Amino acid sequence: MSLVVNGMTVDEIIEGLKIRGGNTVANATGISFVTISRIKNGHRRGIPRYDTLEKLSRYMKDNPEEVEVLRARLAQGGGA
């Protein structure tokens, strides 16, 4: 079972980061660019903290066009 935050799995959140530029997400969420880059590129050990995932999922919920692009890519079996 995968952790779900605000209706999005951790994998969906991480894949969503690959669609959007790190600076834009960092500015909108208050999460450091370095943290976003590490999550996006898989350089973190384990999963990110819950509060970080919550901020990221909220950002993606507020930008539904990005989530739709993500879901379409995942449905086609491809990454971002």
Q: Tell me: the pLDDT tens digits for 19-63?
A: 776 788 888 899 999 998 888 888 877 778 899 999 998 988 888
Other beta carbons within 10 angstroms of residue 2's beta carbon come to 9
* CA–CA gap between residue 35 and residue 23 (Å, rounded): 11
* CA–CA gap between residue 67 and residue 41 (Å, rounded): 18
pTM of the complete model beyond 0.85: no
